[in-house]
Amino acid sequence: MKRKLMLLLTCLFVGIGLATAQTQRVTGTVTAEEDGLPVVGASILVKGTTVGTITDIDGNFTLSNIPASAKVLQISYIGMQSQEVAIKPNVKIVLKSDAQLIDEVVVTAMGIKRSEKALGYSATSVKSDEIAAKRASDVMSSLSGKVAGVQISNTSSDPGASNSVIIRGVSSLSGSNQPLYVVDGVPLNNSSTYSSDGLNSGYDFGNGANAVNPDDVENMTILKGAAATALYGSRAANGVILITTKSGKAQKKGIGVEYNGGLQAETILRYPEMQNEFGMGWNGNHTEIENGSWGPRFDGSLQLWGNVYNNSQKLKSYVALEDNIKDFFDTGIRYSNSLSFNGATDKSDYFVSFSQISNDGMLPTNADTYDKYTFSARGSHTAGNLKFTTSINYASQRNKFATTGQGLSMINSLYQTPRDISIIGLEDLNDPFNTPGYYYTPYGVTNPYYILENNLNTYKSEKIYGKFEAEYSFLEYFKAVYRIGLDSSNSSRKLGEPNLELLFPDTPNWSNALFGHTGQVNVEKDNRREINQDFLLSFAKKVSDFDVNALAGFNYNERTYSSVETTVTGLDIPTWYNLSNSANTPKVVEDSYRRRLMGVFGQIDLAWKNMLYVTATARNDWSSTLPKGNRSFFYPGVTGSFVFTEVLPESLRNVLTFGKIRAAYGKTGNDASPYMIDPIYAQALASGSGFADVTFPLQGTNAFSLGNTLGNASLSPEITTEYEVGLNVALWNGRVSLDAAYYNRNSDKQIFSLNMDPASGYTAQNINLGKIENKGVELLLSVRPIETKDFSWDLSWNFTKNNSKVISLPEELGGIATIYGLTGSTTMYAIVGKPVGTFKAEVADHDPNGNIVVNAATGLPVAASEYAICGDMNYDYEMGLSTTLKYKNVSLGVDFDIRQGGVMYSRTKDINYFTGNAIQTAYNDRNTFIVPNSVNKIVGTDGKVTYVENTTPIESSSVLTYWDNGATDMGSYSLIDKSYIKLRSVVLGWEIPSKWLAKTPLQAVKLSAYGSNLFVWTPSSNTFIDPELSSFGNDLSGKYGEFTANPSSRKFGFNLMVKF
Amino acid sequence: MKKILLLTSIVLGLTSCNLDVNTDPNYPSEVSPSLLLPSAQNFIAATVGDGMYNYAGFFSQYFDQMPEANQYNQIAEYDFTESDQIIDRSYRNLYAGALMDLNKVLQHEESTSGDKYAATILRAFCFQLLVDNMDKTPYAESLLGSSNSMPVWDNGKDVYTGILQEMDAAEEALGSSTMSSNDLLLGKNLKQWKGFANALRLRMYLRFIDANEDAAGYTAKLKTLVDAGEFFTGDIKYDVFTDETNKRNPWYATNKVELANNHVAGYAITTYLTSTSDPRISYNFVKAANSGSYAGELPGSKQVLASKKNADYSALNYYATKPVYFFTQSELQFLLAESYLRFYNDATRAKAAYEAGIDADFAARNLSNASQMYGTGGTVAWSSVTTQAAQLELIYMQKWVALCYMDHMEAWSEIRRTDCPKWSAKTASEINADPTIYTAGDLIKPMRNGLGTGVVKRMFFPLSARQLNKNTPAAVEITTPVWWDVK
Model confidence over B121-178: pLDDT tens digits? Answer: 999 999 999 999 999 999 999 999 989 989 999 999 999 999 999 999 999 999 999 9
- Work out the average pLDDT over A853-872: 91
- Work out the average pLDDT over A843-858: 92
Contact B5 A622 (CB under 8 A): yes
Amino acid letter, residue A973: Y
Total beta-carbon pairs less than 8 A apart between chain A and chain B = 312
Listed in sequence order, the residues at least 6 apart from A166 whose beta carbon sits closer than 8 Å to its beta carbon are A150, A151, A177, A178, A238
Q: Within 13 Å, how many C-alpha atoms sit on residue B353's CB side?
A: 26
Contact A512 B28 (CB under 8 A): no
pLDDT, greater one: A595 or A95? A595
Structure ipTM = 0.94
Read off the pLDDT band of A4 (50, 70, 90): very low
The Cα A34–Cα A201 span in angstroms is: 50
Q: Which of residues 434-473 of B touch A (CB under 8 A)?
A: 448, 462-465, 467-470, 472
Interaxial angle between packed helices B329-339 and B215-228, expressed in degrees from 0 to 180 and rounded to the nearest 10:
120
Q: Taking the model in full, what pTM does it have? A: 0.85
CA-nearest residue of chain A to B54?
Answer: A689
| pLDDT given for residue A70 in this prediction | 82
| pLDDT given for residue B436 in this prediction | 96
Contact residues, chain B, for A958 at CB < 8 Å: 303
Q: B interface mutation test: which of A307, A483, A705 has the most B CBs within 10 A?
A: A705
Measured between CA atoms, how close is A693 to chain B, in angstroms? 5
Name the residue among B18, B251, B307 with its Cβ closest to that of A688.
Answer: B251
CA-nearest residue of chain A to B144?
Answer: A760
Contact B248 A692 (CB under 8 A): yes
φ/ψ of residue A1058, rounded to 5: -130, 135
pLDDT, tens digit, 9 for 90 and up, residues A1021-1035: 999 999 999 988 888
| pLDDT given for residue B135 in this prediction | 97
Contact residues, chain A, for B138 at CB < 8 Å: 757, 759
Q: Which residues pair with A472 in a beta bridge?
A: A386, A480
Q: Which helix (H) or strand (E) holds A228?
A: helix A226-229
pLDDT at A921 over 90: yes
Q: Which residues pair with A167 in a beta bridge?
A: A150
> What is chain A's Cα-based Rg?
32
Contact B97 A570 (CB under 8 A): no
Burial of B59 per CB tally in 10 Å (0-12, 13-18, 19+): buried
Measured between CA atoms, how close is B382 to chain A, in angstroms? 38
Amino acid letter, residue B224: T
Asked whether A742 and A662 are in contact (CB, 8 A), the reply is no
Contact A823 B51 (CB under 8 A): no
pLDDT, tens digit, 9 for 90 and up, residues B89-127: 999 999 999 999 999 999 999 999 999 999 999 999 999
Q: A interface mutation test: which of B29, B100, B245, B257 has the most A CBs within 10 A?
A: B245
The Cα A944–Cα B479 span in angstroms is: 19
Q: Which of residues 179-208 of B touch A (CB under 8 A)?
A: 182, 184
For residue A480, the SS3 value is strand
Q: Which of residues 274-303 of B touch A (CB under 8 A)?
A: 303
Contact A823 B184 (CB under 8 A): no
Contact A760 B18 (CB under 8 A): no
pLDDT, tens digit, 9 for 90 and up, residues A387-426: 999 999 999 999 999 999 988 899 999 999 999 999 999 9
Task: Please state whether beta strands A1048-1059 and A257-270 pair in parallel, antiparallel, or not at all (unpaired).
Answer: antiparallel
Least confident of A56-60, A806-810, B72-76, B369-373: A56-60
For residue A43, the SS3 value is strand
pLDDT at A80 over 80: no
CA-nearest residue of chain A to B87?
Answer: A689
Measured between CA atoms, how close is B397 to chain A, in angstroms? 28
| pLDDT given for residue A82 in this prediction | 78
The Cα A794–Cα A787 span in angstroms is: 9
| pLDDT given for residue A17 in this prediction | 38
Smallest CA-to-CA distance from A712 within A758, A669, A750 is with A750
pLDDT at A789 over 90: no
pLDDT at A11 over 50: no
Q: Which of residues 50-109 of B touch A (CB under 8 A)?
A: 50-54, 68-70, 81-85, 88-93, 95-97, 99-101, 103-104
| pLDDT given for residue B47 in this prediction | 97
Measured between CA atoms, how close is A516 to chain B, in angstroms? 4
Least confident of B69-78, B200-209, B423-432: B69-78
| pLDDT given for residue A13 in this prediction | 36
φ/ψ of residue B200, rounded to 5: -65, -40
Q: Which helix (H) or strand (E) holds A388?
A: strand A386-400
Contact A685 B254 (CB under 8 A): no
Contact A703 B256 (CB under 8 A): no
Asked whether A265 and A331 are in contact (CB, 8 A), the reply is yes
The Cα A118–Cα A614 span in angstroms is: 8
pLDDT, tens digit, 9 for 90 and up, residues A89-110: 888 888 876 544 445 677 787 7
